[in-house]
Amino acid sequence: MTRSDWKDICGAELSALGIQNFSPLEICDVGRTAKGIELAAPTLDLIGNVVKLIDVLQWLRDYEISAPILVNSWYRDPDYNYAIGGVARSMHLTCGAADIVKVGYEPYQVAAMLEAHPLSDQFGIGNYNTFTHIDIRGMIGRNAPARW
């Protein structure tokens, strides 16, 4: 699927669901390259995972003081994930994980906000120096919670 196809197809899905704060290229920046490997679009059967994660990200966006969520990495196809050093069973492969920044907050603060979510026992939350990882592992049949 081309970058343009992905923008059109995923954009139509997001629009039909009334999703306004997240875009197809945040979910998957089709065509981005790392170490010579080009990121491919996810299959459309993963859109359900996208919507579940968007619900969590929208909650986080609106938590306490509303602030934008910047996405560093969401979907990764297996080849791209391998090229950047991602783990073999990465939640990014499922469209169920994102590495994010909440504007104006430190990663540890974002992790604490995610712990306050009513479904936090279904999440994987990783606290890194420059971003926070969030995934919905328990919501899609993987063991949860996970913290690092």
Peptide bond into 42 cis (omega under 30): no
Give the angle 136-74-38 at the CA atoms, nearest 5°: 140
> 124-133 pLDDT, tens per residue?
999 999 999 9
Assign 64 a pLDDT band (cuts: 50, 70, 90).
confident
Domains along the sequence of the chain with CATH: 43-147 (3.30.1380.10)
Which residue has 């999440």 as its token pair?
A: 123
> 4-59 pLDDT, tens per residue?
999 999 999 999 999 999 999 999 999 999 999 999 999 999 999 999 999 999 99
Q: What Å distances lie between residue 4 and 31, 37, 45, CA to CA?
A: 10, 19, 19
Give the angle 123-106-146 at the CA atoms, nearest 5°: 20
Round the CA-based radius of gyration of the chain to a whole number and report it.
15
Reported in sequence order, the residue ranges of 2-122 that DSSP labels E, i.e. its strands, are 33-34, 37-38, 69-73, 97-102
User: Quick one: which of 135, 130, 109 has its CA closest to 49?
Assistant: 135
